[in-house]
Structure 1
Amino acid sequence: MTGHENLWMRPERPARGPRPSFSRAALADAAIRVADAEGLEAISMRRLAADLGAGTMSLYRYVTSKDEVLDLMVDTAVREYLPEDQQPPGDWVEGLRLLAWQARRTMLRHPWLAPLAAARPQVGPNSARLTETALGMLDGLGLSIDEMLTFVGAVFAYVNGYTQGELVEAEATRRSGMTLQQRLAQHISYIQSLIATGEFPMLDRMTKEAGRHFMSSDERFAYGLDRLLDGLAASLRARGAADGPAGSR
């Protein structure tokens, strides 16, 4: 199989010419700082060059296009899923739980990450390391590669969906200056009119219990993640019961 030569296949330092004044890592870090503070739309080669104290054309010694800058950003941020000082535990459930929490923290730090990563292949070295680590946790459970990818994909789909909801809510609060509860309170008369029809008993219960303790965002994330992992573990146990010992942990 042959394919396009990506940026990681090209040497960072050309064999000829002046010594590079910075690195691809510095370029990625500069782009991430801009995106974190101002959004992806603020990124341009001119802006990054100014932040790095370099000429715009000099950036093309490191990348061929803005798209390659975006690839660098994704792969650099993905590294945060796997802290260097924390090795994943041996148990696959705890390992996937750790990855999920790390992914959520990373996505909240970098609101642009999940949408950008979903729109482009993740083939950089850190992305490859993440895939190797996640699939390695499931090795020996009797699963095919396709099944292992589905397990990991289910966990990351949950993290992505939950975190995007958090980010949308945070942005709505920022724009309106009101919390979700305050925004809902503006519609209380309409909500009460719906309840009065008798057709929405769960809505009635929800409003009556609203003053009690509702799970925090962290607690709700943990609860949903635990139920997902419980389901995956149960599927392995059921598989073992049907097929005999499969080496599941």
Structure 2
Amino acid sequence: MATAVELLDAEGIGGLSMRRLADRLGSGAMSLYWHVDNKEKVFDLALDSVLEYREPPQTGEPRNWRGEVVHMLEDWRASMLRHPWSASLLPRRALGPNILGRLELLSKILSRAGVADADLNVAIWSLWNYVMGATVTRASFELSDDDRAVAQQRLTRLSESYPTIERSRLLLDSDWDGAFSRGLDFMLDGFAARQ
């Protein structure tokens, strides 16, 4: 799968074909069909391979539920940012063992933290949507510093209509990691308040 992931990283979803993958592997396209049924299966396997969870190293100290959730979601986001094609594939693919394992572990952590079974699916989908939204936005919102400055100047001229976002200098804020962490804290504060 490493070769398929490399091809997807370099060419995107539209750049992956069985022929191109076979060329990179130095084999014939027909020989790939001995290993995978079709290109869709390659997408499934490649996606699941990049979503493997890398647990934090064991330190011997007890971990709290928030730290575990934050680490897991930051790892998930980082994986998808390293492989931008993954965010667009995830909603429409069969969920493989790595993402299912991640979701199972997340469910167990939240259950141990006191999230009621009746609220567990809402919590999981809320966190899923947060990670997906933050990842897609970050991967697609590429403005240069000059573009940001021009946009902010335009917003300043329109400040009578948009005073709050002009004052907050929204368009100049490029602290994607900080915004993700703080937003996640807001969500987890809500979970903690319900316990």
Q: Scaled by the length of structure 2, what TM-score is found?
A: 0.86
Structure 1 contact 31–48 (Cα < 8 Å) conserved? yes
Where in structure 2 are the equivalents of 1:47-62 lying within 5 Å?
A: 47-62=20-35
Displacement, 1:188?
6.1
Report the counterpart of residue 186 of structure 1 in structure 2: 150
In 1: Cα distance, 2:156 partner to 2:55 partner: 52
Displacement, 1:92?
2.2
**2:106 maps to 1:134:** yes
1:128-158 residue CA offsets vs partner (Å, 9 max, x unmatched) = 32122111212343621x5223212211211
Structure 1 contact 35–42 (Cα < 8 Å) conserved? yes
Structure 1 contact 90–137 (Cα < 8 Å) conserved? no
Where in structure 2 are the equivalents of 1:180-219 lying within 5 Å?
A: 181-187=145-151, 190-195=154-159, 198-206=160-168, 216-219=175-178
In 2: Cα distance, 1:183 partner to 1:54 partner: 45
Report the counterpart of residue 180 of structure 2 in structure 1: 221
In 2: Cα distance, 1:194 partner to 1:105 partner: 35
In 1: Cα distance, 2:151 partner to 2:100 partner: 48
Q: What CA RMSD, in Å, does the superposition of the two structures yield over aligned residues?
A: 2.6
In 1: Cα distance, 2:29 partner to 2:76 partner: 33
SS at match of 1:139: helix
Displacement, 1:184?
4.0
Structure 2 contact 22–32 (Cα < 8 Å) conserved? yes
Structure 2: gaps spanning 5 or more residues = none
Displacement, 1:125?
2.1
Query: Could you tell me which of 109, 115, 137 is aligned with 1:165?
Result: 137
* Cα distance, 1:142–1:230 mapped onto 2, change above 3 Å: closer
In 2: Cα distance, 1:215 partner to 1:192 partner: 18
Structure 2 contact 9–83 (Cα < 8 Å) conserved? yes
Question: What code does the residue aligned with 2:54 have?
Answer: P
Q: Scaled by the length of structure 1, what TM-score is found?
A: 0.68
Report the counterpart of residue 32 of structure 1 in structure 2: 5
Displacement, 1:30?
0.9
Aligned residues: 192
Structure 1 contact 93–229 (Cα < 8 Å) conserved? yes
Displacement, 1:203?
4.2
Report the counterpart of residue 156 of structure 1 in structure 2: 128
In 1: Cα distance, 2:79 partner to 2:23 partner: 26
In 2: Cα distance, 1:111 partner to 1:219 partner: 19
Which protein has the bigger helix share? Answer: 2
Displacement, 1:189?
6.3
Displacement, 1:201?
2.6
Query: Could you tell me which of 84, 92, 95 is aligned with 2:68?
Result: 95
Structure 2 contact 18–29 (Cα < 8 Å) conserved? yes
Structure 1: gaps spanning 5 or more residues = 1-27, 174-178, 237-249
Q: Using the aligned pairs only, state the percent identity.
A: 32
Structure 1's consecutive aligned runs of 4 or more residues displaced over 4 angstroms after TM superposition are 187-190
In 2: Cα distance, 1:210 partner to 1:49 partner: 44
Larger radius of gyration: 1
